[in-house]
Structure 1
Amino acid sequence: MHSLQQALRAAFHNREALLAELHAQGTDCYRLFHGSQEGMPGLTADRYGPLLLVQSFHQPLERGVLLALHEQLCSSLGESLMLVYNDRSQGNSRIDRDDPVYRADSAALDDQVGREWGVSYRVRARHSGQDPLLFLDLRNARGWVKANSAGRSVLNLFAYTCGVGLCAAAGGAREVCNLDFAESNLAVGRENGALNPELAPMQFIQSDYFPAIRQLAGLPIPQRRGRALPDYPHLAPKQFDLILLDPPAWSKSAFGTVDLMRDYQSLLKPALLATAENGVLVCCNNLAKVSLEVWREQVLRCATKAGRPVRDCQVLAPAADFPSTDGRTPLKVLMLQL
């Protein structure tokens, strides 16, 4: 317990300047403890507005340790946050229902609102995913999009709950389109839009990535011999000034396979072709096993082969609440000026 107290104290000290900056920017969603890099592998503590979400991935936290962690972080912040604890160390054992501390108060499990870059988001502490509907390590990318969207058309691919699209709208984009396969994700995106009524309305397209992006890029959709493809929305070819491509590590459908380890190129090529001349493609890779250097070389080579050579390539690192002792963070973001 003493070592955890020290680790939490050091982590908060290392974040004090960042937290002051975030609070001034209108952000109350951030990581307070990144255990894999701060002395307690398998343990994370995140603030989402009024919530403190603690998650353990290697072994459960004892009741007393959990309560002490909650008290220490709230005291450091000077805020009284509602505690939600998800234990993910034993498959789907995320909730121990024998103790009210592990169950969490009903108020903490209600839908809440968090803020980032002055924009409001729906947050939900316990659902089928690992995050409360907003991936914190992508905050810098969302901020970059907000700062660089004015007057642009923006396409948010693998949009999840449409945080990037919302930042584009907040940044003055003339058009924002969010594309995701899951209607449940887009439903939260619509909630996010409703939480920010001052922003221009966004568009939502529910579709598998491959047929949608290939149509936008003006490419044919391959037919599989002897197998009819599922229905999909029919889209006209169109290019966007700014595109964000943030795929999952792996998924498979009747239209193709998303595989960041073996075949990022099949995702990247149509996105390049759907990016307008002088536009920007922001591409992400969250697979820890892939090094930034190797992936960047793959991306640049693919762009050249696709006839869309990159004029400038910049790396955008996660903020300091996701520290890395060796500089090799799982999430890698490249901004490609075409």
Structure 2
Amino acid sequence: MSPALLQALRAALDSRQTLLAELHAQGSDCYRLFHGSQEGAPGLTVDRYGPQLLVQSFHQPLEREALLALAAAIDEHLGEKLLLVYNDRSQGNSRIDRRDPVYQAEAAALEDLVGHEWGLNYRVRGRHSGQDPLLFLDLRNTRGWVKDNSAGKSVLNLFAYTCGIGLCAAAGGAEEVWNLDFAEGNLAVGRENAALNPELAPMRFVQSDYFPAIRQLAGLPIARRHGQRLPSYTRLEQRQFDLVFLDPPAWAKSAFGTVDLLRDYQSLLKPALLATAEGGTLVCNNNLAKVDMDDWREQVLRCASKLGRPVRDCQQLPPAGDFPSMDARPPLKTLVLQL
């Protein structure tokens, strides 16, 4: 490992000492240890997921000696040996190089493991059919907020992925939790997460494209596109929820519509607003770095006002200190809208 990278890593670890002590005290052992784009090594991230250390490179592969030295430095700092998994994602579309020419993880590191956050158990897999880890660490503060603000509420978790938000809502005493996602594989992990926390009330898992599901809940028609016949879709009754969580991907296209956070956030936001009860809360995310928070907030508030659902209060939830932003403009932006 180059002296510059070692110095940057040690500075990052030193800066997290207070935060890690707080996280460990609250029952969390999933966090980012090195955020390379902001801490001196663009394209390199180092995350802890319970017993696992996940190193990922996005610009160029790490050399084996540098990887092993990095892992050793972290083990020494934490005072425990973590199971190393290395994903080189410097190829096209950030896809993992599964040939593992640099480092082959031990079998134990690739087993089904368990990480912890806010005292809850989460499934951890070093490798699975998708590209991204099963828990997005920059949303930890938001999951904590949901856990603290769900008591007695009906909660709708949209683009639920592996249902971390739903899990936190259930842990926070929600009366009812729906997790909606297009991918059955994501919801399968959500069911695993639920099974790892058997003390929680059961959740509902809805496998559906976003657009037909949210438009039915909002009482809106499902329009045909250019006269094309629509595929079959899950049938839902119109209803509203006390707390709605909207966390769309940057871009996706289906027969029912296009998710485009840069050009058309409104088409996602409008039906979500209508599915939020009067006096309820809508939490919405935008993870595009090129989108400015002030511009996006203005767009969101204007959209709500035009729809006749004006926002009474708007709060911003920043990521925690393990995701530093030197210009105070982190890619992940979260707004809590009180309607």
The one-letter amino acid paired with 1:248 is: P
CA drift at 1:232: 0.6
CA drift at 1:170: 0.3
Structure 2: how far apart are the matches of 1:46 and 1:250?
A: 25
Structure 2: how far apart are the matches of 1:133 and 1:149?
A: 23
- Residues 1:319 and 2:291 aligned together: no
- Residues 1:94 and 2:97 aligned together: yes
CA drift at 1:5: 1.1
The residue aligned with 1:257 is 258
Instruction: Give secondary structure in 2 for the equivalent of 1:131.
Output: coil
Q: How many pairs were matched up?
A: 336
Structure 1: how far apart are the matches of 2:232 and 2:44?
A: 42
The one-letter amino acid paired with 1:53 is: L
The residue aligned with 1:283 is 284
The one-letter amino acid paired with 1:94 is: D
Asked if structure 2 preserves the Cα contact closer than 8 Å seen for 1:161 and 1:189, the reply is: yes
Instruction: Give secondary structure in 2 for the equivalent of 1:103.
Output: coil
Residues 184-193 or 225-234, more deviating: 225-234
Asked if structure 2 preserves the Cα contact closer than 8 Å seen for 1:312 and 1:337, the reply is: yes
CA drift at 1:225: 4.2
Structure 1: how far apart are the matches of 2:264 and 2:80?
A: 45
CA drift at 1:223: 1.9
Structure 2: how far apart are the matches of 1:62 and 1:259?
A: 37
Any residues of structure 2 matched to 1:1-338 within 5 Å, and which? 1-91=2-92, 92=95, 94-98=97-101, 102-338=103-339
Q: Per-residue CA shift, 1:283-327, capped at 9, x if unaligned?
A: 000001100011000000000011100000000000000000000
CA drift at 1:147: 0.3
Asked if structure 1 preserves the Cα contact closer than 8 Å seen for 2:96 and 2:131, the reply is: no
CA drift at 1:186: 0.4
Structure 2: how far apart are the matches of 1:61 and 1:103?
A: 13
Asked if structure 2 preserves the Cα contact closer than 8 Å seen for 1:95 and 1:103, the reply is: no
Asked if structure 1 preserves the Cα contact closer than 8 Å seen for 2:134 and 2:162, the reply is: yes
Structure 1: how far apart are the matches of 2:310 and 2:321?
A: 32
The one-letter amino acid paired with 2:317 is: L
Structure 2: how far apart are the matches of 1:194 and 1:172?
A: 17
> Structure 2: which 5+ runs fail to align?
none
Structure 2: how far apart are the matches of 1:148 and 1:11?
A: 32
The one-letter amino acid paired with 2:8 is: A
> Structure 1: which 5+ runs fail to align?
none
Structure 2: how far apart are the matches of 1:251 and 1:125?
A: 25
CA drift at 1:132: 2.2
Superposed CA RMSD in Å reads 1.0
Structure 2: how far apart are the matches of 1:38 and 1:288?
A: 17
Structure 1: how far apart are the matches of 2:99 and 2:23?
A: 33
Structure 1: how far apart are the matches of 2:42 and 2:25?
A: 30
Instruction: Give secondary structure in 2 for the equivalent of 1:238.
Output: coil
The one-letter amino acid paired with 2:259 is: V
Q: Per-residue CA shift, 1:127-162, capped at 9, x if unaligned?
A: 243432000001111000000000000000000000
Structure 2: how far apart are the matches of 1:130 and 1:114?
A: 18
The one-letter amino acid paired with 1:194 is: A
Structure 1: how far apart are the matches of 2:111 and 2:97?
A: 17
Alignment identity in percent?
75
Structure 2: how far apart are the matches of 1:176 and 1:322?
A: 28
Structure 2: how far apart are the matches of 1:65 and 1:316?
A: 35
Q: Which runs of 4+ in 1 moved over 6 A?
A: none
Instruction: Give secondary structure in 2 for the equivalent of 1:187.
Output: helix
Q: Per-residue CA shift, 1:159-182, capped at 9, x if unaligned?
A: 000000000000000000000000
The one-letter amino acid paired with 2:265 is: Y
TM-score by length of 2: 0.97
CA drift at 1:111: 1.2
CA drift at 1:93: 5.4
Q: Per-residue CA shift, 1:187-207, capped at 9, x if unaligned?
A: 000000000000000001000
Structure 2: how far apart are the matches of 1:245 and 1:28?
A: 26
The one-letter amino acid paired with 2:142 is: A
